[in-house]
Amino acid sequence: MANLKDFSCDQCSKKQRCKKPCPPVEWYANQDQVEPGREKTIAPESIGIRQFPVWPKSLSQDETVFQLYFFDRKPPDEIAITLYIHRSTVYRAIKRAKDNWKKSLQNS
Contacts of 62 (CB under 8 A, 6+ apart): 93, 96, 97
The count of C-alpha atoms lying within 13 angstroms of the C-alpha of 86, restricted to the half-sphere facing its C-beta, is 3
| pLDDT score of 60 | 87
Structural domain includes residue 83: yes
Provide the pLDDT for residue 2.
Answer: 46
Q: What is the pLDDT of residue 85?
A: 93
Q: What range does the domain containing 78 cover?
A: 61-107
Look at residue 92 and tell me if it is in a domain. Answer: yes
Specify whether the CB–CB gap between 9 and 24 falls below 8 A: no
Residue 90 in domain: yes
What's the CA gap between 97 and 99, in Å, rounded?
5
Residue at 73 is within a domain: yes
86 lies in some domain = yes
Asked whether residue 68 is domain-assigned, the answer is: yes
Residue 32 belongs to some domain of the structure:
no
Q: How many domains does the chain have?
A: 1
Helices (H) and strands (E) in the chain, counts: 4, 0
From first to last of its 108 residues, what are the pLDDT tens digits of the chain? 445 556 667 677 777 777 777 776 766 666 666 677 777 777 766 666 555 555 556 788 988 999 999 999 999 999 999 999 999 999 999 999 999 888 888 887
At 24 the three-state DSSP class reads helix
Question: Which amino acid makes up residue 10?
Answer: D
Q: Is 55 among the domain residues?
A: no
